Chain A
Amino acid sequence: MAVLVVADVHGNSIDDSTHKTVTAALAIGSDVDILVAGENAGDAAAAAAKISGVRKVLHADDASYAHRLAEPFADLIVSVAGDYDAILKAAATTGKNVMPRVAAKLDVMQISEIVSVDAPDTFTRPIYAGNAMQTVKSNDAKKIITVRATSFKAAEEGGSAAVEKIDAAGNPGVSEFVDENLTKSDRPELAGAKIVVSGGRALGSSDAFEEYIMPLADKLGAAVGASRAAVDAGYVPNDYQVGQTGKVVAPELYIAIGISGAIQHLAGMKDSKVIVAINKDEDAPIFQIADYGLVADLFKAVPEMTEALG
């Protein structure tokens, strides 16, 4: 079976989620190609070619792919779809935006956010905020799939696939990029970080996030996350939200500070290897899934922890 992985390209590099999606693809079929679409993205294509297990890289270079607009990007994927039995992309915001558009154009029902490949046509995915796991068998001839990257190991480096240039598919010209306002941070990226320190409504202000959460995160070399309540209140940017409708993370260590543990939040972090909760309410639901719980006032405990980590 021939499987296409659509890479997550940022600027001129590819995200680690691409490597993880390749692992899922290899569980479906052994002929795995990668599509790299971008503007001046030659280095990204070269990086994709180094992923072990990859047969070849298709590289489409055009200004219309610079900002991952759904309409031209979906048309490009559809233009190469004929050669593949399955097409996969990580379930990050670009994949979620583009892949259902591809699926509908091909008259296929997409399988969203798979966490395992049980057979080449059978997949498991969380539903109801991860309170149930649904195993589905697809009866479509072509499988269109988004992949929950945290559930798959990254494919190794060490490949040397050929890079083949392909034509752009044209731009329907119904959408245009205006601007992008990206959060600048020297901290690790949330989705792939080994340690995540998250704060909730209890912080009470963005100043408190700066004063209490950030120094602890920096001591640990951690990424910073948040509950929806903290994001809605404007303490941190939107893309810090962890949960059912935010980002899904699965770090080695997740520290939830002043977060109650609503199911929507748990959906985004309960696959973390070790979970720590700091909360002053000993009955907070977060303690039911925490490996280590500390019942304490965060405004005392967190500075103490930052200090002790010296």
Chain B
Amino acid sequence: MKILVPVKRVIDYNVKVRVKSDETGVDLANVKMSMNPFDEIAIEEAIRLKEAGAAEEIVAVSIGPEKAQDQIRQALAMGADRGLLIKTDDTVEPLGVAKLLQKVVEEEKPELVILGKQAIDDDSNQTGQMLAALLDWPQGTFASKVEKTDGKLNVTREIDGGLQTIKINLPAVVTTDLRLNEPRYASLPNIMKAKKKPLDVKDVGDYGVNVSPRLEVVKVTEPPKREAGVKVESVAELIEKLKNEAGVI
């Protein structure tokens, strides 16, 4: 089978973001950008399925600026076979991303799409579920284990209270949780080889779907600040303060 893996270029998870003073968004000038961590897990899972003989080809796709080629190249260096950038400098919301991915699926005809469960910038946790809905495919979200057995997928999902295992038909959409695997680092030779792997560049306009935003950003503000409290000297002082000052025990 062919696997499609959407990867998003996001602010690196180590960067502490700053809200712009005009409240229009966060400051992304000169900050480190990376592949969304959950998407690295998605690429890794696709590679493992390929290594296990359950898949033949892995296509990495990103919707974003020219620079998102860096993240696609990283996917190729890890082991994906081909890349596709759908270029735009505008913000595309999860619904728009899902609509573009639907078109890519119609063209590429993968049997499985593996996405991250959540992009760590917008924290939406929507795109995979939306894509599954648009395609009318089953979904295995928040996966911590994926197995292909007799033409179906067994997906173990991280849910409130524990783990749930479901069996879904193929074609399907899967979204990754943190414990699915530990993504590999790309070796230097593989980084070199990735430069020669095919990477197609298209424009959002080429797909003929309306991706204009449905949500109007009114403002982006700093979260309420929490003042640092006091250091206590001993366990006895801590308990005394929790009892008499804070009144919480």
Binding site for B on A (CB under 8 A): 67, 69-71, 74, 92-94, 96-105, 107-113, 122, 125-140, 172, 174-183, 191, 195, 220, 228, 231-232, 237-239, 241, 244-245, 247, 252-253, 263-264, 270, 273-276, 282, 287-296, 301, 304-305, 308-309
State the main secondary structure of chain A at its contact with B: mixed
Q: Does B232 contact A (CB under 8 A)?
A: yes
CB pair A109 B215 closer than 8 Å: yes
Report the minimal beta-carbon distance from B236 to chain A, rounded to whole angstroms.
7
* B228 contacts across to A, CB distance below 8 A: 287-290, 293
Expressed in whole angstroms, the Cα–Cα distance for A140 and B130 within the complex equals 16
Q: Using an 8 Å CB-CB cutoff, how does the interface string of B130-163 with A read, 1 for contact, 0 for none?
A: 1111101111011010000000001001111111
* A131 contacts across to B, CB distance below 8 A: 16-17, 19, 26, 223
In the complex with contacts A220-B249, A273-B248, A111-B215 CB distance below 8 A: yes
* B201 contacts across to A, CB distance below 8 A: none
Q: Which of B201-232 contact A (CB under 8 A)?
A: 213-223, 226, 228-232
Query: Can you name the residue of chain B whose Cβ is closest to the Cβ of A222?
Result: B249
In the complex with contacts A139-B215, A293-B232, A252-B120 CB distance below 8 A: no
CB pair A112 B123 closer than 8 Å: yes
Binding site for A on B (CB under 8 A): 11, 13, 16-17, 19, 26, 38, 93-95, 98, 117-118, 120-134, 136-139, 141-142, 144, 154, 157-169, 177-179, 213-223, 226, 228-232, 234-236, 238-239, 241-242, 246, 248-249
CB pair B165 A178 closer than 8 Å: yes
In the complex with contacts A135-B217, A292-B229, A180-B164 CB distance below 8 A: yes
CB pair B242 A292 closer than 8 Å: yes
In the complex with contacts A175-B169, A239-B162, A132-B232 CB distance below 8 A: no
* A304 contacts across to B, CB distance below 8 A: 235
In the complex with contacts A93-B160, A133-B222, A287-B231, A100-B94 CB distance below 8 A: yes
Most chain B CB within a 10 A radius of its CB, from A99, A138, A263, A273? A263
Expressed in whole angstroms, the Cα–Cα distance for A247 and B246 within the complex equals 25
CB pair B165 A180 closer than 8 Å: yes
CB pair B139 A140 closer than 8 Å: no
CB pair B17 A132 closer than 8 Å: yes
CB pair B166 A74 closer than 8 Å: no
* A270 contacts across to B, CB distance below 8 A: 223, 226
Most chain A CB within a 10 A radius of its CB, from B118, B138, B221? B138
Expressed in whole angstroms, the Cα–Cα distance for A296 and B234 within the complex equals 9
Most chain B CB within a 10 A radius of its CB, from A245, A293, A305? A245
CB pair B162 A293 closer than 8 Å: no
Most chain A CB within a 10 A radius of its CB, from B139, B231, B235? B235
In the complex with contacts A109-B94, A112-B126, A132-B220, A195-B166 CB distance below 8 A: no
In the complex with contacts A112-B126, A293-B229, A103-B216 CB distance below 8 A: no
* B177 contacts across to A, CB distance below 8 A: 238, 245
In the complex with contacts A139-B215, A294-B232, A308-B236, A110-B246 CB distance below 8 A: no
Report the minimal beta-carbon distance from A64 to chain B, rounded to whole angstroms.
13
Most chain A CB within a 10 A radius of its CB, from B120, B131, B144? B120
CB pair A191 B160 closer than 8 Å: yes
Q: Which of A107, A239, A244 is close to B158, meaning CB atoms less than 8 Å apart? A: A239
User: 23 A-B Cβ contacts within 8 A?
Assistant: A94-B159, A94-B160, A96-B142, A101-B133, A109-B215, A110-B94, A126-B123, A127-B121, A131-B17, A139-B215, A179-B164, A180-B162, A237-B162, A245-B177, A275-B229, A276-B238, A289-B226, A292-B230, A293-B228, A293-B232, A294-B231, A294-B238, A295-B231
Report the minimal beta-carbon distance from A301 to chain B, rounded to whole angstroms.
6
Report the minimal beta-carbon distance from B10 to chain A, rounded to whole angstroms.
9
CB pair B235 A294 closer than 8 Å: yes
Expressed in whole angstroms, the Cα–Cα distance for A245 and B226 within the complex equals 21
Report the minimal beta-carbon distance from A99 to chain B, rounded to whole angstroms.
8
Query: Can you name the residue of chain B whose Cβ is closest to the Cβ of A309?
Result: B239
User: Assuming A128-B123, A133-B222, what are 16 further A-B pairs, CB within 8 angstroms?
Assistant: A70-B132, A74-B133, A103-B126, A112-B123, A122-B218, A130-B223, A132-B19, A133-B220, A134-B220, A238-B179, A245-B117, A270-B223, A273-B248, A276-B242, A292-B246, A294-B234
CB pair B132 A308 closer than 8 Å: no
CB pair A128 B249 closer than 8 Å: no
Expressed in whole angstroms, the Cα–Cα distance for A99 and B169 within the complex equals 21
In the complex with contacts A135-B217, A220-B249, A112-B141 CB distance below 8 A: no
